[in-house]
Amino acid sequence: MCGISAIQSLSGATLAEDKSQLESQLRASIKAIGHRGPDSSGVYISEDGSLGLAHARLSIIDLKSGQQPLHDVINTIHAVVNGEFYDYADIRKDLEAKGCQFLSSVDSELIIHLYQTYGQNFIHRLRGEFAFVLYDSKRRLLMAARDRFGIKPLYYTVVNGKLMFASEMKGLVPFGWKPEWDAESIMQYGEFFDNRTVFKGVYKMPPGHLLTCNRSGQIENRIYWEHEYPHAALEDPRSVQEMIEGVRQRLVDAVRVRLRSDVPLGVYLSGGIDSAAVAGIASALLKEKDPNAKLMTFTLAFPAREDVDEGPIARRMAESIGAEIHMVAPTEEDLVREFPRSIYHTEQPTMSFHGTGKMILSKFVHDNGYRVVLTGEGSDEIFGGYFFLMPDFLRAADPAVRRLGIPLPTDEERSLILQELESSGLRQDHFSLRKFSFQDGQLGRELVGGISTYTMFAAGCLSDAAFVPRHLYNSNLTVTAAEGLSPDARRKMCSGQWHPLHGSLYISTKIILRNVLLNALGDRVEMANSIEGRTPFLDHYLVEYVNTLPPSVKIMPLVEKVICNGSIRNWKFTEKWVLRQAVKPFVTEEIYKNTKAQYNTPIARPAPEEKALTPLQIMVKSRVTKEAIEKLGWASWDYFEEVLRDYLSSSPECPSDGGLDKRARILLIITSFLILQEKFHVPTWVCDS
């Protein structure tokens, strides 16, 4: 895992008066993201001085060689790569049979020879988590791409005729990019709903896309991979057991290829089935080679909140597979102290300590001498693990399982359960800032065939009262979110070609997964401490298979009891059912039976008689000031002053789900922006109109 950056003149002109000046910019760029690759660094400058590549390396495979930038034997193809490619040995063997000459045994070199052999179509042959920039000097063609799900970050912008890339936005500054607020994106939540960021003109490279820039300076960004789901009306010919075995086989293989490493490797372990499955499979695979092998697992524990602490469950799981467990238990003081650093690394606002907790965990892993961890990210968005997916599961029948003998609610029963869910009043979740109903956001839902997933996303957004230039605020945030999706995907949702659950899962992967979880809880807080995270659940062979499975094996209906002489049945629904069956041999009975619990970083409840401010209250009091808010230029001091006053004058609420007081969430969001302004030296935003 590494950090990369690149700069290219769109006109083909020299980027600097002399190459030493450009080299200094490249080295400064890579130094800004040096935490991503502390072991070595390198730069490449084209002969005409119109392009530069830079790389910071975290050595995982082939520790002695494998320096980057990479080059072919005749020095015409050059590349910088961040990430890991799997099936390396088989692909290399095939390429060598075709005459390719490898200069190292590092997996990143694959893209040089795959490009030589297959042209731009080589990207379909890559398996793993990656972002790269490749330059063909003979054709003066630049290519940049990001993996299928957005596991590895890559940002780009154009400034004064120069196309720039970096693994993190801070790496763009030495190239001459000056951070400015994108107030419209901030108020429309472009950072979370589409490819925008909080900074003007800087975009996230979309997952599953390949960007090319030719010798004329023309930029094209095209899709090379997309989620696909079966037609909702088609019966599935497979047996349920075949589906279970198909998931198990592919997940085991996904874990197996990710165990390859020349440095110590561990697994993040919580009390959930996702990380437990990865740990259980990894332990079994290691013991196949060495019966005495002992897997190392790392866990976040919160003993001060026994009601939501997953530490004891994780310990029992580790003991059951003979793994060694290491626990770190951050206090509220720890979370508050590390919060600014986590914002600097994730480069996006947040309403929680989730990312901070994960960053503390990755530092704990690093301090224990490890560099690679396997994680459970992606399972909920692929297998259906969120409570807010239930209405969309019930929104349509599931003809795909008609012949499989799975008990299904009748149309009348589905309608009654759905009506009860959607009319059960307002709900609150630790992801949200306001209560919401599954009937909210009708305008946006019309664009995606009535799917209600958006309602929870919009509930996590600040109200228009938080902003000064309210004319830029879009109250129909569900519309903004829908418009950020592929038109083809929206067509399939609206036409009924995709079952509503599959449409809902698609939306979850495009919003929650790529824009929040893989950034704020994944790569950025891992690489902040030079830790490489690997995500078996996002192996595209596994995902493509799971996407073909019927909705009713992802969320399995079960008759709990019969009411009124059999006329109406009481239904229970098990989330991620097919995954549970597939991994049952690898996890404890306790974890197999547990229902989904959201990851959280709970803080201790203050004693009833405690009158002093908590560490979190002290932080927001010191940072959220009139001067600081007005310096942003787009935020309303009146709004945040009222929230702050109310929060400081009463004892903080501690929701039973382990989340934060709603007022604290609002204040953490604005504190995030204040930290970004401080770290990036962002000038005050001024309204144009």
Residues 6+ apart with CB under 8 A from 6: 51, 52, 53, 54, 80, 133, 135, 142, 144, 164, 165, 166
Backbone angles phi and psi of 254, in degrees to 5: -65, -40
Dist. CA 300–CA 601, nearest whole Å: 9
pLDDT of residue 682: 98
Cα distances (Å, whole numbers) of residue 545 to 90, 292, 501, 541, 577: 22, 33, 16, 6, 15
CA 589 to chain centre: 29
Residues 6+ apart with CB under 8 A from 628: 674
pLDDT of residue 510: 95
Catalytic residue among 2, 100, 213, 654: 2
Backbone angles phi and psi of 687, in degrees to 5: -70, 135
Beta pairing partners, 41: 56
Residues 6+ apart with CB under 8 A from 508: 380, 381, 386, 389, 453
Judge contact between 37 and 58, C-beta under 8 A.
Answer: yes
Q: For the chain, how are helix, strand and coil distributed in percent, rounded to 5?
A: 45, 15, 40
Residue with tokens 């939501």: 308
pLDDT grade for 657, boundaries at 50, 70 and 90: low
CA 535 to chain centre: 10
Judge contact between 532 and 58, C-beta under 8 A.
Answer: yes
> Residues of the chain with pLDDT > 90: what percent?
76
107 annotated to bind ligand: yes
Dist. CA 659–CA 598, nearest whole Å: 10
Q: Please say if the pLDDT value at position 486 is more than 90.
A: yes
pLDDT grade for 689, boundaries at 50, 70 and 90: low
3-class secondary structure, 540: helix
Q: Please say if the pLDDT value at position 63 is more than 60.
A: no
Dist. CA 252–CA 282, nearest whole Å: 8
Judge contact between 587 and 282, C-beta under 8 A.
Answer: no
**Can you read off the two tokens belonging to residue 411?**
């149309």
Give tens-digit pLDDT for 374-420: 999 999 999 999 988 999 999 999 999 999 989 899 999 999 999 88
Residue with tokens 């599961």: 393
Judge contact between 447 and 494, C-beta under 8 A.
Answer: yes
Give tens-digit pLDDT for 238-253: 999 999 999 999 999 9
Judge contact between 82 and 58, C-beta under 8 A.
Answer: no
pLDDT of residue 653: 75
Q: Which amino acid is at 522?
A: G
Dist. CA 36–CA 203, nearest whole Å: 20
Judge contact between 181 and 631, C-beta under 8 A.
Answer: no
**Can you read off the two tokens belonging to residue 519?**
């950034």
| DSSP run (H or E) holding 265 | strand 265-268
Residue with tokens 């519309």: 479
Mean local confidence (pLDDT), 529-549: 98
pLDDT grade for 568, boundaries at 50, 70 and 90: low
Residues 6+ apart with CB under 8 A from 243: 236, 549, 553, 578
Mean local confidence (pLDDT), 365-370: 96
**Can you read off the two tokens belonging to residue 144?**
């940049």
**Can you read off the two tokens belonging to residue 662?**
């709603």
Mean local confidence (pLDDT), 644-671: 86
Determine how many CB atoms are found less than 10 A away from the CB of residue 273.
Answer: 30
Identify the DSSP state of 459.
T
**Can you read off the two tokens belonging to residue 656?**
């039973």
Dist. CA 588–CA 313, nearest whole Å: 9
Q: Which amino acid is at 294?
A: K
Q: Which amino acid is at 496?
A: G
Dist. CA 343–CA 129, nearest whole Å: 23
3-class secondary structure, 572: strand
pLDDT grade for 602, boundaries at 50, 70 and 90: confident
Judge contact between 407 and 571, C-beta under 8 A.
Answer: no
* Of 44 and 59, more confident: 44
Q: Please say if the pLDDT value at position 590 is more than 60.
A: yes
pLDDT of residue 579: 98
Cα distances (Å, whole numbers) of residue 145 to 50, 167, 209: 20, 12, 6
Backbone angles phi and psi of 54, in degrees to 5: -140, 150
Dist. CA 236–CA 405, nearest whole Å: 12
Q: Please say if the pLDDT value at position 344 is more than 60.
A: yes
3-class secondary structure, 675: helix
Note if 2 is an active site residue. yes
Cα distances (Å, whole numbers) of residue 21 to 15, 52, 80, 208: 9, 11, 20, 34
Backbone angles phi and psi of 283, in degrees to 5: -65, -45
Dist. CA 374–CA 385, nearest whole Å: 19
Catalogue all structural domains in the chain, each as residue range(s) with its CATH number.
2-223 (3.60.20.10), 240-381+513-593 (3.40.50.620), 384-506 (no CATH), 615-653+659-680 (no CATH)
| DSSP run (H or E) holding 319 | helix 311-320
* Of 659 and 96, more confident: 96
pLDDT of residue 476: 76
Give tens-digit pLDDT for 424-470: 755 556 567 766 666 666 777 888 998 888 777 777 888 888 998 77
